[in-house]
Structure 1
């Protein structure tokens, strides 16, 4: 152009250079400037940079910025803002940081709208700390961040579904505090999200203050905002605070929706406050808010857990009559609840109806389920039913259900396999248990401590010690560490077959592996050693357990007292009784039941303790006293036996389980010539409603003969002939006198 003698002015040259750069011909633009021998100024460079940004040639744009500086042409705020805007459009946020770091020290600041866009962009990138720094720089530059900027930042900090970490939450709190100081008000969405985040971090009071602050500025939180905060309060078991907020919500004229009511109902159900949950449910219905499937399911599950099956069934029927279709969770809860209550047949009926078996008229009458309400069971449904069937010893049906489950395309999980293995083991079908074990392994599930415990328990019961030890070895090879229950089952099993030394070695190994024996473990091995007559070893273990902080309970004392009596160590047995009374005496049946938790049922039965539970309402230790009294009587130590009798007799409400002691004492007293005391016991027995054995009268007559009280002998014999009473013979049959 200079050849023709025509020269462009700066504006025309800038526009032409911009067009060339925009189309990517930045080299031609540069050559044009040099050919025109025009000294580029800030305007010209800015236009060229703008064109390069339009063409997304950011490396070249930054190169022109450097060329501009080298030509002593100082970029101005327009230059930087043009470059920032271009980088922002293409999300070149790394370059944005570099540009800002260059421009602010030079006294150039992004425009207000660019600041807002930058904050938003870095929030979308989840670079919240830099977004907050931009906000601070914005204030430092003299801009007043308004409603939009603060809400953009706080929305970014708290707007995600997942809860923010502590650093992000701290930024959110700082942002909120600065908003309040600046007189800016949060929008409703951000209030809800910010309050939700605060609740998630346990800052419930702060969340409540946020809502109150919002109200003081003329905004009434909507139902969604209240519901979110109520939900987090309930999740944190702050049900009382949730209730207070709910009442405040209604007082502010905000109508709760089904979500709000369901949150409260579910939380009260989980807290065991079923009656309160039912009151919410009734209020919900009265207010015209229709419960949904989640509401009904929460209440049904709570009633099932509380073993209120009839009420759960009524709720289910009501649910169906209101046109609310149950889902798989509802059905699973019902099946699981009926299984746990032992109502396996009903659980099976519910399952069959769920699968669409229309022939079950009984369940139709019971639940009135329509065909539209049918749904497919999931792994939890099958698991609940299989577990229930196994516990009811219906293992064949449970195995068939496992096959049906696989056919339906529902893959069994570890829990299902474990339940079935345990079920087969419990009924003694070890081969079938091993088949399921193999199937479980083929499906990719590794046996756990529960799986191995079921197998080991069965093997010890069947006295398959060789196989039990192989299973234990396999368990250890698979890095499946036995727990205290597994070790205790093995120790008890070894003791029951007389392998006490092996049981003791296992006890030692158990401790070496870092698994501490509990009271059940020690009691089992003490019982095994006692039956083998190794009473000294019993006492050694008894002292060992106490020295290691494992307190013996009354079952342990009962076992040791029994074995002391069998070994003739009556004084030691008596001392143990005194010690037990001072420390481990259960005061009532509830305490007694708690003490025997963890003990094998067969083991407790062998001690005669389960009979005591039904027989006594106060002191469930009759069996211990029976053993002691009987042994002291046999040893001829009647005074001690009578003292023990008076002690236990004064504690009993009922003579159930204790009447045999009377006969033994009366016999011994009569033979010892202490007839008066024998008759006192006889009178007490009659007074308490006891029925004497025929042998008891014979013993009394022998006693009278022994002390030559012939008149009394004749009177008692005559009264026996005249009395129309039922006497109990020794073998338990009844005869009339």
Structure 2
């Protein structure tokens, strides 16, 4: 080209770059990229992302880091995707990275944070885990807190990973402190978290017997208190009641409450009352609050309301927390009139409704489809000194979308930002799903790009919802890009069985039934991406985009090998090729399938035989018919195919 004075342009370079990338010729990619930039031709962000992903897969993080810096010099500012690709590549493996590579990951994290971007949930967990594994516990805590400032909410799994590493490093005090912080942030520890702590405390000699953490701790603590002449007070008993309520042991919680009020000997809880029994400890407002909240969460709202009357009789004035718990309880069981009566009583007592009160009412009103009242509540909140928070706005946006009022929901999304309340991933996902169901997929994609640009990381559900709507609208190129981004940012590579379920959960049921994926969840837990490819391939075949479907099929077979899901992909492709009369290519796929020990279902054979007959290849048709009789085939032919032969 140069000898003919014909200079390559950005299209030429991009074609060369993509071809080399497909062949995994990274050294050539590097040379082409250098030539491209010297000529003033800059790759698109998606090309940069693909190159970065290829470097990370190859373990060449130094080149990946240089590429990130090169993006900035090419006026292509790295966004959410490239930062997650790099950190996910370093920390998304089971092997511990070298100190040099970990240092690069920390530098990239610093740049990402300064740019206002965030890690996705999986990468936060993995990055924190690796920091803990090299003893950088303070840095790990700092990452969690910084991401929380950006809207990230650590879940039980994230906290448990860090607690486990702290316990393994014998940092028991820090582990217990983080455990307390976890509960303080409203994250409920699961059995895994408790097991880690119980095991570690036992090994450290803090608890000799730990078969039942709660009872064991309660018995020992009370034994020590009483032997030291320290009589339990209302705070102690309130903690016990709250703990039993959270453990859903409402019988024992109510027994402790009854015993506090001096209701005689109760065997199951008498161990807690071996002090001065002549002066029973009266329940206070916090005691009642814990019990009311526990009963409401168990939908025992009538008993909870009776406690409110008991409080008044005992001259114990209910506070805002007690009222809010009861209002939420009535709303959850669909008793809106009773909830409003409690609101009225609360107002008479001098307590104004707060954001939690309004959120409970809004949730119920949406479920009852009383939209006019919802808008009145919103107006009242905006006029008062009680502005809605992100949870309230998200409830309203989701509710409006569910009843098809997406324009009103979008106006609310814009308004919440104007009021200084940034939407979170749940808000954006609800809005994307609403526009998707209304058939406005362009707006879905616009919102998806908007959330990433504003530093809000998409999660499993966001990708799942958007991929499903793009598929339904026939936007297969966009769907494929989303799938690639999902893979590159390490959703859901490391979650195995859980990830598999999350990815396919909620996809169009017709697609899933066609592909037989609903029966394969337990069989293919280690291949979470396969179902999404299956949906794409089947959809592309149906709309006649066969070449793209074949390319995708080649990619997924290389990635995952043959499985029950990939057998369905083979069948879809063979069917499409046969119907188009491309018999050689159809038989090529059939031969490839047979070589790997996979036999198509019977209707695929009928299609192949029918195509051979239509092309006057009678000998081959007879030979294939004969071979069917000697195969172990699933005999479930499709009627329309049989009728056509």
Could you say which residue in structure 2 is the equivalent of 1:481? 387
Map Cα deviations across residues 69-128 of structure 1 (whole Å, 9 max, x no partner). Answer: xxxxxxxxxxxxxxxxxxxxxxxxxxxxxxxxxxxxxxxxxxxxxxxxxxxxxxxxxxxx
Give the direction of change, closer, same or farther, for the CA distance of 1:266–1:575 in structure 2 (3 Å limit).
closer
Q: Give the 3 Å change call, closer, same or farther, for CA 271–571 of structure 1 in structure 2.
A: closer
Counterpart position of 2:309: 403
Match of 2:466 among 538, 560, 574: 560
Structure 2 counterpart of 1:452, from 340, 358, 375: 358
Asked if the contact 1:459–1:467 (Cα under 8 Å) also holds between the matched residues in 2, the reply is yes
Cα distance in 1 for residues equivalent to 2:315 and 2:596 = 70
1:173-322 equivalent positions in 2, closer than 5 A: 270=177, 272=179, 308-315=213-220, 318-319=223-224, 322=227
CA contact (8 A) 2:546 2:576 kept: no
Matched, 1:350 2:256: yes
| 1:669 aligned onto 2:577 | no
Matched, 1:505 2:444: no
For 2:492 and 2:287, the matched residues in 1 are separated by 40
What is the match of residue 705 of structure 1? 609
Deviation for aligned residue 1:465: 0.6
Indicate the residue corresponding to 2:537 in structure 1.
629
- CA gap of 1:404–1:661, structure 2 versus 1, over 3 A, is farther
Contact 2:222 2:272 in 1 (8 A): yes
Give the distance between the partners of 1:317 and 1:568, measured in 2 at CA: 66
Counterpart for residue 391 of structure 1: 297
Shift of the 452–523 alpha-carbon distance from structure 1 to 2, 3 Å rule, reads same
Which residue does 1:134 correspond to in 2? none
Unaligned 5+ runs, structure 2: 1-140, 142-171, 181-196, 513-517, 579-585, 613-619, 639-645
Normalising by the residue count of structure 1, what TM-score does the alignment of the two structures yield? 0.49
Separation in 1, partners of 2:241, 2:637: 50
Q: Is the 8 A contact 2:553 2:569 kept in 1?
A: no
Q: 1:646 to 1:426 in 2, by over 3 A?
A: farther
Alignment correspondent of 1:167: none
* In 1: Cα distance, 2:541 partner to 2:321 partner: 54
Give the whole-Å Cα distance in 1 for the aligned partners of 2:354 and 2:597.
Answer: 55
1:484–1:516 Cα contact (<8 Å) kept: yes
> Given the superposition, is the C-alpha separation of residues 615 and 716 from structure 1 closer, same or farther in structure 2, using an over 3 Å criterion?
closer
User: How far is 1:702 from its partner?
Assistant: 2.2
Q: How far apart, in 2, do the equivalents of 1:697 and 1:406 lie?
A: 72
CA RMSD of aligned residues (A): 4.6
Shift of 1:420: 1.7
Shift of residue 571, structure 1, vs aligned partner: 1.2
Structure 2 residue 313 is the aligned partner of structure 1 residue 442? no
The Cα of 1:627 is off from its aligned counterpart by 3.5
Query: Does 1:327 pair with 2:214?
Result: no
Give the corresponding residue for 1:469.
375
- CA distance, structure 2, for counterparts of residue 642 and residue 405 of structure 1: 71
Which stretches in structure 1 are left out of the alignment for 5+ residues?
1-236, 238-264, 286-298, 597-602, 687-691, 731-737
Select which of 245, 248, 263 maps to 1:339.
Answer: 245
Are 2:328 and 2:357, in contact at CA under 8 Å, matched by a contact in 1? yes
Q: 1:625 to 1:426 in 2, by over 3 A?
A: farther
Q: Identify if the C-alpha distance between structure 1 residues 418 and 720 changes in structure 2 by more than 3 Å, giving closer, same or farther.
A: same
**Against the structure 1 CA distance between its residues 678 and 447, is the aligned structure 2 distance closer, same or farther, given a 3 Å change threshold?**
farther
The CA distance in 2 between the partners of 1:613 and 1:504, in whole Å, is 36
**Structure number with larger C-alpha Rg:** 1
Per-residue deviation, 1:396: 2.4
Judged with a 3 Å threshold, the aligned counterparts in structure 2 of structure 1 residues 621 and 469 are, in CA distance, closer, same or farther, namely farther
- Residue 483 of structure 1 and its aligned partner are, at CA, apart by 1.2
Shift of 1:426: 2.0
Question: What is the alpha-carbon distance in structure 2 between the residues aligned to residue 389 and residue 640 of structure 1?
Answer: 57
Offset of residue 452 of structure 1: 0.9
User: In 2, are the aligned partners of 1:390 and 1:420 still within 8 Å (CA)?
Assistant: yes
**CA distance in structure 1 between the partners assigned to 2:555 and 2:373 by the alignment:** 49
2:27 is matched with which residue? none
* Secondary structure of the corresponding residue to residue 601 of structure 2: helix
1:533 paired with 2:439, answer yes
> What residue in structure 2 maps to residue 491 of structure 1?
397
Matches within 5 A, 1:17-96: none
Alignment partner, residue 330 of structure 2? 424
Maintained 8 Å contact 2:541/2:576: no
Query: Contact 1:452–1:471 at 8 Å: present in 2 too?
Result: yes
- Give the C-alpha shift of residue 324 in structure 1: 5.5
Distance 1:685 1:433 in 2: 63
Q: Which residue among 526, 535, 550 is the counterpart of 2:456?
A: 550
Q: Secondary structure at the match of 1:672?
A: helix
User: Contact 2:293 / 2:325 at 8 angstroms: preserved in 1?
Assistant: yes
SS of the residue corresponding to residue 483 of structure 2 reads helix
TM-fit CA distance, 1:575: 1.8
Q: Which has the higher contact order (CA 8 A, sep 6+)?
A: 2
What secondary structure is seen at the aligned counterpart in 2 of 1:428? coil
Deviation per CA, 1:526-585, whole angstroms, max 9, x where unpaired? Answer: 211111111222233233333433343443233222111111111121122223333463
Rounded to whole Å, the distance in 2 between the matches of 1:486 and 1:387 is: 20
Q: CA deviation at 1:497?
A: 0.4
Q: How does 1:133-148 map to 2 (within 5 A)?
A: none
Determine if the alignment matches structure 1 residue 572 to structure 2 residue 482. no
Within 1, Cα distance between the matches of 2:237 and 2:303? Answer: 19
- Inter-CA distance 651–492: structure 2 relative to 1 (3 Å threshold): farther
What is the CA distance between 1:447 and its match in structure 2? 1.1
Give CA-to-partner distance per residue, 1:664-697, whole Å, 9 cap, x none.
Answer: 64255246343664586689798xxxxx9xxx73
CA contact (8 A) 1:449 1:482 kept: yes
Distance 2:235 2:597 in 1: 58
Matched-pair contact (CA < 8 Å) for 1:500–1:525: yes
Deviations along 1:415-459, one digit per CA (max 9) or x if unpaired, are 121122122222222112111111211121111111111111221
SS of match in other structure, 1:568: coil
Would the aligned equivalents of 1:344 and 1:388 in 2 still touch at CA under 8 Å? yes
| Offset at residue 393 of structure 1 (A) | 2.4
Deviations 1:207-232 (A, max 9, x none): xxxxxxxxxxxxxxxxxxxxxxxxxx
Distance 2:223 2:597 in 1: 56
- The answer to whether the 8 Å contact 2:226/2:274 transfers is no
CA distance 1:490–1:720, shift in 2 (3 Å): same
What is the alpha-carbon distance in structure 2 between the residues aligned to residue 496 and residue 457 of structure 1? 12
Deviations along 1:389-419, whole A, 9 cap, x unmatched? 2222222222222222332322221112112
Shift of residue 522, structure 1, vs aligned partner:
1.8
Instruction: Provide closer, same or farther for how the CA distance between residues 453 and 345 of structure 1 changes in structure 2, counting only shifts above 3 A.
Output: same
> Aligned-pair distance for 1:514?
1.8
Counterparts of 1:415 and 1:507, CA distance in 2: 29
